[in-house]
Every structure is written in structure tokens, then in C-alpha cells.
Amino acid sequence: MTSAPGDLPEAARRRLDQGAFSSGLSVSDFAACLEMGLEPVGLVQGFCAMQWGNYSMVGGIGRGSTPFGGSQGGYVENYQCPHGMISVEHRMFGQNYEQTWIEDSWREGFTNAYARMIEEAQALGAHGVVGVLDSESSFGEAGVIEFHARGTAVRVLDAPPPTQSPWSTYLAGQRLAKVFEAGYVPVSIVASVASIRVWSSCVTEYLMEGTTGMWSNSTGAVEIDQLVSAQSIARDVARSKVRAQLLGDALHGASLDVVTREFSKGDFEIQSHLSGNRVRRFKDVDPLDVPKPTVRLS
């Protein structure tokens, strides 16, 4: 066991050097590990605190009077007012744009927390980490978000010592066993976030208020294009970011969450979070027979 490299805090090094065993696995997951020939060697985790809250790209005053220029190659779409009238309250433009700086900060926080967890696993001489749990929590009013990743480091019995960085997966227990049986080997967890800011155009705002007629340019029910666009793009961007991390491998057991926050009237952020297990096929699909249907009496 080599001493902990990198930037792990003192307390972590002491804990890992002790050689004591602790694990976040339930009894059944623990049993399943042993069945797979995986020996849990310790609970590992990583943290990273990031400053948060820089949401404005352009100040409030200039907003809506000119088309938006874009943000470092991210998605941007302008919605021009169709009414041809200029007044202080009536906005000339609405905008959807990708907040790439938010996405990059998230990426940094997540990656650092993950890397530190992996370092701890390496210090224990583990081959991989199972049952990963990742979370973000905000601290008080200060605009700080803490990223936390933890899991159970495992060693493969009767196998040569690890030569590469440990693999990782959200799965544990029987579900992980079936993944191996199905012909997949876990590579790592992957996750990404897409953040789309929406400044409602006049049309969008009137539709959201429920006004019909002259200002919303509609005679009845219509689709709210600007928001549909933002929602669709948010999902697409999250998926392409994750795809870029797969490098030809597959994504198994993915989970997609989309949250909309409203800062003030007509001012939204749509954040979509996609995470899953990057896995690779190590043998061809060997399909089972169609499962036997049963009716359970008790």
C-alpha cells in the first residue's frame, strides 16, 4: 500500500493508513460482492466546495434591448419582438442561452470530488469503487456548493494488482453481478449538467400570463416555442456532454433530471442533470431464454 499521493487532507491519510475496514454496503450487497470475488477494502470519498451564484452574463439594464452575442460557443437563440413597437416595458428581444460558465464550474466541482475519491481508493490498492453516491449541497446563504462523492473501494481477489486508475460504478450488489453476467464491465460513472437561461420574449411572457389577442399574437392555445426550445436543448446538451465522455463505450442505467428555477418573472434557468454508468462490452451478447412466467401463491 503506497502512501496517499496528491492533495488528500491529513485526516484522510490517517484514516486510510489505519487499515480499518468500513463500508457503506448493506448486508446483501456485501454478500453479493463476495460472490463476485470482490473484496471490500474501505469506504472512500471526495469533496470539493465551489463558489456559486454568478448567474448574470449581461446586466439587467441592457437586457432585452439588443440581440445577445452568445457565450463562448454555447447555444444561443434570440427571439425578436414581432409587434414592431418600442416602449420601455415592451422588450425588443428575448433570449435563450447556454450558461457555459455554470456548466464548467459544475464540471470542475464534480470532477475534483470524484478524483479525490479515486485517489483514496488508489491509496488502498483497490481495483475499483462500487455503490457510488454523488450529491451536491449548498451551504447557508453564502453561495457555496459542496460536491461529495463516496463509494466502497473493492479489490478483485486472485487478480494481479491494479495497474490503472480504479474503475467505478453507481451499482452494487446483485444488479452489478448481473451487469457482469450480461457481458459488461464498468469503466466509470459519468455525469454532466446543462444550464440554459431563458429571458422571456414579450410573446412568451404574455402567453405565460395567459393574455390572448394582440400582444401574444395568437387567437387561442399555442405552443410556447421559446420554452420548448430551451427545455429540448437542455436535454440535448446534457446528453451530448455525456456522450463525449463515453468515448465509444455504452451508458447503462442512466438517470435524467430536469429542474426549472424562476429568478423573477419571465427569467428562468433550466438545469438538466444526466448521470449513469459508463460500461464496456467484454464478451458478445449471449441471450438467455425467454424467462418462465410464474404466478406466486405466497
Nearest C-alpha neighbor of 193 from the set 150, 155, 147, 229: 147
In eight-state DSSP terms, residue 137 is: E
Q: Is 207 in the site for other proteins (CB under 8 A)?
A: yes
Q: Is 212 in the site for other proteins (CB under 8 A)?
A: yes
Q: Which residues, numbered 64-123, are part of the site for other proteins (CB under 8 A)? A: none
Q: Is 264 in the site for other proteins (CB under 8 A)?
A: no
* Sign of the C-alpha dihedral computed for residues 271, 192, 239 and 132 taken in this order: negative
Among 13, 63, 83, 252, binds other proteins (CB under 8 A): 252
Contact region with other proteins (CB under 8 A), list: 2-10, 84-92, 136-144, 250-258: 250-258
Smallest gap, in angstroms, from Cβ of residue 73 to other proteins? 22
Q: Is 11 in the site for other proteins (CB under 8 A)?
A: no
**DSSP labels, 81-118:** -SS----SSS-SEEEEEE-HHHHHHHHHHHHHHHHHHH
Q: Is 221 in the site for other proteins (CB under 8 A)?
A: yes
DSSP-derived pairing of the beta strands 128-139 and 167-168: parallel
Mention every residue, 6+ apart, whose C-beta is less than 8 A from residue 93: 64, 65, 66, 67, 68, 78, 79, 80, 81, 201
Q: Which residues, numbered 130-189, are part of the site for other proteins (CB under 8 A)? A: 156-159, 163-164, 167, 171, 173-175, 177-182, 184-185, 187
Smallest gap, in angstroms, from Cβ of residue 256 to other proteins? 5
Cell numbers describing residue 66:
439588443
Among 13, 63, 107, 239, binds other proteins (CB under 8 A): 239
Q: Is 19 in the site for other proteins (CB under 8 A)?
A: no
In eight-state DSSP terms, residue 289 is: P
Q: Is 4 in the site for other proteins (CB under 8 A)?
A: no
Q: Which residues, numbered 266-295, are part of the site for other proteins (CB under 8 A)? A: 274, 276, 280-283, 285, 287-295
Among 35, 104, 108, 262, binds other proteins (CB under 8 A): 35
Q: Is 126 in the site for other proteins (CB under 8 A)?
A: no
- CA-CA distance, 215 to 198, in Å (whole number)? 19
Binders of other proteins: how many residues, by CB under 8 A?
A: 87
Q: Phi and psi (nearest 5°) for 40? A: -65, 135
